[in-house]
């Protein structure tokens, strides 16, 4: 009888321990980013690839999805064209649907590359993409390791045409 009680109590203890571990591992709350040190004009906000932040100051949720293109000339290689990198950033206001912005390291309308885009009366600009590709691995070796910095500047509402 005592053996059954011991086994039962050990089983209950193991289940309680598993449940506690499960709760800490599966916490999927969206982090709220405090922007106390940021001013509304031009501070750089950094994201790791796949990272999602709610920017309370701008009432905006921002997710750095991926770098969809990186044709920048690798370090240590001589290239004819400097190349460009394009980051896909998903933005969503508190009352809007998500929109994916393609932000590039350069402006070239002929190649459909733009370093900034407008969303909800804000201009969102790409400040930087790191790391820079190298000759050995190229851009493919950097998948999942990219970091970006963006600037968000208030542009104000557009005038309505009557």
Residue 7 lies in a domain: no
What is the per-residue pLDDT for 6? 66
Domain total of the chain: 1
User: In degrees to the nearest 10, what's the CA dihedral of 44, 124, 83, 52?
Assistant: 70
The answer to the question of residue 70 being in a domain is: yes
The structure tokens listed for 135 are 């000759």
Q: Is 104 domain-assigned?
A: yes
Q: Is residue 58 part of a domain?
A: yes
| Residue 24, domain member (yes or no) | no
β-strand partners of 70: 85
Domain that holds residue 104: 38-154
Instruction: Find the CATH number of the domain harbouring 88.
Output: 2.60.98
- Enter the pTM of the model: 0.67
90: confidence class by pLDDT, cuts 50, 70, 90: very high
Residue 114 burial by CB count (10 A; 0-12/13-18/19+): exposed, middle or buried?
Answer: middle
The per-residue pLDDT for 127 is 94
Q: What is the mean pLDDT of residues 84-112?
A: 92
Local confidence band at 148 (pLDDT 50, 70, 90 cut-offs) = very high
Q: Give the model confidence (pLDDT) of 30-69 as tens digits.
A: 444 443 334 445 589 999 999 999 999 999 999 999 999 8
Query: Residue 7, exposed/middle/buried by CB under 10 A (0-12, 13-18, 19+)?
Result: exposed
Q: Is 114 part of a structural domain of the chain?
A: yes
Is 126:150 a contact under the CB 8 Å cutoff? yes
CA distances to 51, 71, 103, 125, 133 from 146, rounded to whole Å, are 11, 14, 14, 17, 10
* 162 is a domain residue: no
In a domain, 101, yes or no: yes
């Amino acid at each position: 009888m005592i053996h059954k009680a011991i086994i039962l109590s050990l089983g209950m203890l193991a289940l309680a321990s598993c449940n506690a571990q499960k709760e800490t591992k599966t916490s999927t709350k969206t982090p709220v980013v405090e922007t106390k040190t940021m001013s509304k004009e031009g501070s750089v906000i950094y994201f790791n690839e796949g990272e999602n932040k709610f920017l309370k100051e701008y009432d905006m949720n921002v997710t750095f999805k991926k770098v969809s293109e990186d044709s920048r000339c690798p370090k240590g290689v001589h290239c004819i064209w400097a190349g460009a990198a394009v980051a896909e950033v998903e933005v969503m206001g508190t009352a809007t649907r998500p929109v994916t912005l393609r932000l590039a390291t350069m402006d070239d309308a002929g190649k459909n590359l733009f370093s900034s885009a407008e969303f909800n009366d804000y201009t969102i600009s790409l400040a930087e993409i790191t790391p820079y590709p190298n000759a050995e691995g190229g851009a493919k070796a950097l998948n999942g390791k990219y970091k970006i910095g963006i600037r968000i500047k208030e542009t104000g509402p557009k005038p309505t045409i009557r």
